[in-house]
Amino acid sequence: MSIRSEILSQFHQVAKEQDKRLANLADDLELLDSGLDSLCVAIVVSRLEDSLGIEPFSTAEDTGFPVTVGEFIKFYENAAR
C-alpha cells in the first residue's frame, strides 16, 4: 500500500470511529477543515507510526508543520525517503 493510500485510509477509519463527518480530502484542504479535530489527527499519527514505522513530527526540525492534506502526505513521503 502506498503512503498516500495508507494515510487516506487512516483518515477515513478514524473519522468513522470518532463519528466525524469527513470532508472530501483534496490536497489543498486544510487539515483542521477536514472534519477531524486535533485528537483525531493525533490518533491518525499514532496509527501511521504503527503501520508505516515513521513519525516525522518529532524528527523533522527544518520543515514547517503540515497545514493541508497534501502537505501532510508529503511530510510522510519525505520522511520515508
Partner 1 sequence: MPPGDRASLWNAVSACGNWSGQFLSGAGASVTLRELAGGSSLGGRAGELRGRSVLVSTRDQLTAALALIELDGVARRLILCPPDFPLEHLPVVIESAAVDAIVSDRTTPDPDAPPVGCFITCRPKIAPPSEDRRAGRQTEWILLTSGTTGLPKLVVHTLASLAGAIESGSTPSPAVWSTFYDTRRYGGLQIFLRAVLTGASMVLSDADESAADFLIRAGAHGVTHISGTPSHWRRALMSGAAHRIAPQNTRLSGEIADQAILNHLQSFYPQARVVHAFASTEAGVAFEVNDGLAGFPASLIGGGTGVEMKIEDGSLRIRSTRNAARYLGPKAGPLFGADGFVDTGDVVELRGDRYYFAGRRDGVINVGGLKVHPEEVEAVINRHPLVRMSLVRAKKNPITGALVVADVVLKTGPATGNGHAGQLEQEILDFCRGVLPPHKVPVALHFMSDLPVAPTGKLVRQPCVTSS
For binding to partner 1 (CB under 8 A), which residues are involved? 17-18, 30-32, 38-39, 41-43, 45-47, 50, 55, 57-62, 64-68
Could you tell me the smallest distance in angstroms from the CB atom of residue 2 to partner 1?
Answer: 22
Coil, helix or strand for 68?
strand
Could you tell me the smallest distance in angstroms from the CB atom of residue 58 to partner 1?
Answer: 5
Could you tell me the smallest distance in angstroms from the CB atom of residue 41 to partner 1?
Answer: 5
Buried b / exposed e over 25-58, threshold 16 CB at 10 Å, is beeebebeebbbeeebbebbbebbeeebebebee
